[in-house]
A and B are shown apart, each in its own frame.
Chain A
Amino acid sequence: MLAANFDWQFIWDHLPDFWEGLKQTLKVAGIGIAGSLAIGIVLGAARAHRVPVVSWLAATYVEVIRNTPILVQIFFIAGALPHFPGHPIRLEPFTIAWLAVVIWGGAYNTENFRAGFEAVPYRYREAGLALGLGRLGTFFNVTLPIGARIALPSTINTNVSVLKNTSLLTAIGFAELTNTAYSLESESFKATEVYFALGVTYLIVVWTLSLLIRVVERRLALPEAR
């Protein structure tokens, strides 16, 4: 399958480098997933319950993010914000990195949770209200647990995409996994070895994440769907 002169030793020797890059990738993806879930729940709830102003702002945010390439968003945060007229915003590369994926994933998760919350039959919410739970109590005890379970499969897709999209951060020179591989390749010219190892690493990581999430999903699914 691979050329006879495939240099396994090279991969072996540079495993520590891959590991360093992978750690950055996982850190950014972790923040990205947690942050985008939080944004998704809050803004998704605002959208589903048509909270004035917030709902409109959230809708605009979702539209902008979903209709522009993530690479453009990354360049915007890295390049445009520091030159913001009158009010330059300086950001560390790590901050730019997680901010970019949180903002991207947050928009998709807002949509996921909006759809999930809206799919909760009104009669369940009414049952919560009728028991005297109040609007907030009904959201936290009824709409959120049921709606989040409905939203689960689509949020999983988003979360996996957040992880994969961290590779685009190489475009701003952030030393995550892809960027590390790219640097290695330009020093060594061993493109086959480097990108083979890179692909395998992503496969393992994404598979592991998917597997973990599937276990969680099965545990969380509504009882009648288990």
Chain B
Amino acid sequence: MNALGKTRITGLAVEAGHTGAALAEPARATTPVVRVENVRKSFGDNIVLDGIDLTVPAGTALVIIGASGSGKSTLLRCVNLLEPVDGGRIFFEGEEITRKGVKVPAVRQRIGIVFQQFNLFPHLRVLDNLTLAARRVGHVRRREAEERAHELLGRVGLVDKARSYPHQLSGGQQQRVAIARALMMRPHVMLFDEVTSALDPELVGEVLVVMRDLAHEGMTMLVVTHEMQFARDVGDHLIFMDGGKIVEQGKPAEVLDRPQAERTKRFLRRTLQLADSLEELTIDEGGVR
């Protein structure tokens, strides 16, 4: 994949010039936006999160990498309360959101999430996909909601697609709409779960650029991705997960260039080498080596 800096979307580049502080509204500087404390989660006998601790300060991007099945999606889903945790606590802007009696929908409005499969509502036009939640639970009037929706569509380079239905858009366009839809609720943090994994390679860049600009504008983000260049360029901190644990973490470039743990080395070898030299890899019961 190309370095991100080389990718350009005309629409976005134009819009990006006058992006205000409206997109990202960082919380009080001292309180981390997200703090995860010894979180445990199992599905039956399958221990998926095995004591996860992490802190995401306001305005930073945390990148999460790890093999398939290592619990990355579950971690994001726990932060958004789509999965209840079995143990441990999660704090959002200093407030514990895993406690009993928390207003779940209100918390979710402040935490945007974008999924691998876009999940745009198929019966609604792009514009209505964006305005639905703002109008229904944000109690924003249609006019205002649509103004903001058009503005956000401009930022993701899709002003002219407001009247389209999701199925009329490419995967990359759908994913950018999904990002805009999540931003409608003015979230204080954005969660991205492998948002480029379902895209054709030539469409990955346009989505990563939107995410990069969001990070540069100061949005706090948790990003699960396999795009190592993105991790390096945009991430402030990187964690490598394996078997429900954080095996290694640090500055993205350091972890990616000088991994310490054996499991990290093996994972990075598989992921990075695959592109260079498929021939050097062998397969056995443990998978690719």
Contact = CB atoms under 8 A, between A and B. Distances in A.
A132 interface: yes
Nearest to A142: B121
Contact of B185 (A123, A132, A145, A223): A132
A37 to B, nearest CB: 18
Given A133-B133, A133-B137, A134-B137, A223 B105 contact: no
A127 B136 contact: no
B91 interface: no
B16 interface: no
A47 B82 CA distance: 22
A95 interface: no
A71 interface: no
B80 interface: yes
Nearest to B110: A132
Nearest to B165: A223
A131 B168 CA distance: 23
A132 B108 contact: yes
B122 A223 contact: yes
B133 A146 contact: no
Contacts of A63: none
B182 A131 contact: yes
Contact of B122 (A128, A133, A222): A222
Most buried by B among A123, A127, A128, A133: A127
B137 A137 contact: yes
Interface residues on B, range: 20 to 34
B123 A146 contact: yes
Contacts of A126: 82, 115, 119
B245 interface: no
Contact of A132 (B120, B137, B167, B168): B137
B106 interface: yes
Contacts of A200: none
Interface string B111-140: 011010101111100000000110011000
Interface in A183-226: 222-224
B109 interface: yes
Interface string A106-144: 000000000000000001101111111110010001100
B108 A131 contact: yes
A149 interface: yes
Contacts of A133: 105, 132-133, 136-137
Nearest to B111: A130
Contacts of A130: 80, 82, 108, 112-113, 182
Most buried by B among A126, A131, A137, A146: A131
B82 A137 contact: no
A124 B108 contact: no
Contact of A223 (B109, B115, B123): B123
Interface in B115-174: 115, 117, 119-123, 132-133, 136-137, 165-168
B232 interface: no
Interface in B179-219: 181-182, 185
Contacts of A129: 82, 105, 108
Given A123-B115, A123-B117, A132 B133 contact: yes
A136 to B, nearest CB: 10
B121 A134 contact: no
Contact of A224 (B112, B122, B181): B122
A149 B119 CA distance: 17
Closest CB pairs A-B (n = 3) = A132-B109, A131-B133, A224-B167
Interface of A: 123-124, 126-134, 137, 141-142, 145-146, 149, 222-224
20 contacts: A126-B82, A127-B115, A127-B120, A128-B133, A130-B108, A131-B133, A131-B137, A131-B182, A132-B108, A132-B109, A132-B185, A133-B133, A134-B104, A137-B136, A142-B121, A146-B123, A222-B123, A223-B165, A223-B167, A224-B165
Given A130-B82, A137-B137, 8 more contacts: A124-B121, A126-B119, A130-B182, A131-B132, A133-B136, A134-B137, A222-B122, A223-B123
